[in-house]
Amino acid sequence: MRLAIFDLDGTITRHDTLAPYVGGFLLRHPWRIPRALGVVPALLAFALRRCDRGPLKAALMRSALGGVHRTQLDAWSEQFVHHLLARGTFAAARARIAEHARAGDRLVLMSASPDLYVPVIARALGFEEVICTGVRWRGERLDGRLSTPNRQGEEKVRCLQVLRARLPGPASAYGNSSADLAHLAQVEHGVLVNGSARARRAAARTGLTCERWR
- Tell me the three-class secondary structure of 110-174, residue by residue: EEEEECCCHHHHHHHHCCCEEEEECEEEECCEEEEEECCCCCCCHHHHHHHHHHHHHCCCCEEEE
Nearest one of 135, 173, 168, 138 to 151, comparing CA atoms: 135
Q: Span 184-188, mean pLDDT?
A: 97
- Does the global pTM surpass 0.85? yes
pLDDT above 70 as % of the chain: 100
Domain residues for 134? 3-211
- Eight-class DSSP state of 10: T
Q: How many domains does the chain have?
A: 1
Q: Span 153-167, mean pLDDT?
A: 97
Nearest one of 131, 129, 128, 127 to 114, comparing CA atoms: 131
Predicted pLDDT at 51 = 85
pLDDT at 167 over 80: yes
Number of H helices, E strands in the chain: 9, 8
Give tens-digit pLDDT for 99-150: 999 999 999 999 999 999 999 999 999 999 999 999 999 999 999 999 999 9
CATH number at residue 181: 3.40.50.1000
pLDDT band at 66 (very low <50, low <70, confident <90, very high): very high
Q: Span 9-19, mean pLDDT?
A: 97
